[in-house]
Amino acid sequence: MIDEIRNLRNQIATEIGEITSKELLDNFRMKYLVKKGEIQAYFEKMKTAAPDIKPIIGKELNECRQFAEREFKVLQEKFATATETKVDIDMTLPGRRNFNGTFHPVLQTLEDITEIFRSMGFTVAEGPDIEDGYHNFDALNFAPDHPARDMQDTFFVKSDRELLLRTHTSPVQIRVMQSQQPPIRSIMPGRVYRNESINSRSLAEFHQVEGLYIDKNVSLAELKATIMAFAKRMYGEKSKFRFRPSYFPFTEPSAEVDISCYLCGGTGCRICKHSGWLEIAGCGMVHPNVLRAGGIDPEIYSGYAFGFGIERVTLLRTGIDDIRLLYENDLRVLRQF
């Protein structure tokens, strides 16, 4: 019987070596380790053995059972962790995407605008965000009682109203004229501030690009051609534009430029207030008083100027219909551009 038990142990060792799955391990348990299993059967058999060899058989059998149980446990643990790892690595899950940062759409627009004007020979100039009343208003031919000078419309830095947050980029025109001789051909991008309530169409802080061209015999036709060349490159050949007479203190004559509405294509909708058109720029021939304030003789030189809002241009090209979305820093919005 001792030999039988040793054979059994060898058999168990061989079978253990062949177990490759949970199912096979379970078969093994059913075969050897349960009450009706083969090991237990030998314990039953042992009862009939001669009393003097019973302890030897018992010892042999116990060792055999311990061996089988030990090996079983090892395999059981192995298969348990294997299933856990299987759960950990779910090959059907989508991978984690690497997120690359992008330029903010307003900055992208500014870069494209700059690139287009650069290719037409314009240089880039900048001025201070905190301006004085002279550059922001007086030098630009604003009347002393112009409403823009009111606290309701402008953020003043000092109560004497001498320093303010510039309400437009036009004061940079004056600074450029004061520091350069014609011919001048510059664009002037920057941040501007207005004491306005915030809604889907306007913010209290936004960006503008100013343009200025001064030389001998500059004509309104050149202004129109420049704006049209820019707008077609920015918005595509198919967009429609119109020039509408308007008024600005610093230009005479003045005009506003409209583009056909990107949303309705001109039939009229909420965005264009049912007119079919959206205003994109103000422009005109530089007023003689403004040339004088810039130290340029209006008898010799003439020029044109224009200005537009960068956020507005961004809305038009992205199709975003609420200007506030540009500054909420919601990645779901920003990642689209």
Contacts with ligand DAH by CB under 6 A lie at: 168, 170, 210, 248, 251, 282-284, 305-307
Nearer to ligand DAH, 39 or 174 (CB): 174
CA separation for the pair 155, 163 (Å, rounded)? 9
In whole angstroms, the minimum distance from the beta carbon of 280 to ligand DAH comes to 11
Say how many residues make up the chain: 337
Cβ distance to ligand DAH smaller for residue 42 or 193: 193
Q: Identify which of residues 148 and 333 has a Cβ nearer to ligand DAH in the complex.
A: 148
Q: Give, in order, the Cα–Cα distances in Å from 112 to each of 97, 256, 316.
A: 28, 22, 14
Residue 263 beta carbon to ligand DAH: minimum distance, rounded to whole angstroms: 23
Burial zone of 148 (CB within 10 Å; 0-12 exposed, 13-18 middle, 19+ buried): middle
H helix intervals, 30-141 = 38-46, 54-88, 105-119, 133-136
CB 60 within 8 A of CB 5: yes
Instruction: Compute the least distance from the CB of residue 322 to ligand DAH, in Å.
Output: 21
CB of 211 to ligand DAH, least distance (A): 7
Question: Rounded to whole angstroms, how far apart are CA atoms 23 and 18?
Answer: 12
CB of 161 to ligand DAH, least distance (A): 19
Q: Shortest gap between Cβ of 160 and ligand DAH (angstroms)?
A: 24
Burial 280-312 (b: 16+ CB within 10 A, else e): bbbbbbbbbbbbebbebeeeebbbbbbbbbbbb
**Cis, bond preceding 55 (omega within 30 deg of 0):** no
Whole-number Å distance between alpha carbons of 310 and 206: 8
* Residues linked to residue 284 through DSSP beta bridges, in sequence order: 254, 305
Between 105 and 284, CB nearer to ligand DAH: 284
In whole angstroms, the minimum distance from the beta carbon of 100 to ligand DAH comes to 35
Closest distance between ligand DAH and the C-beta of residue 214, in Å?
Answer: 12
- Residue 210 vs 258, nearer CB to ligand DAH: 210
d(CA 20, CA 14): 13
Q: Which is nearer to ligand DAH, 182 or 307 (CB)?
A: 307
Q: Which is nearer to ligand DAH, 5 or 172 (CB)?
A: 172
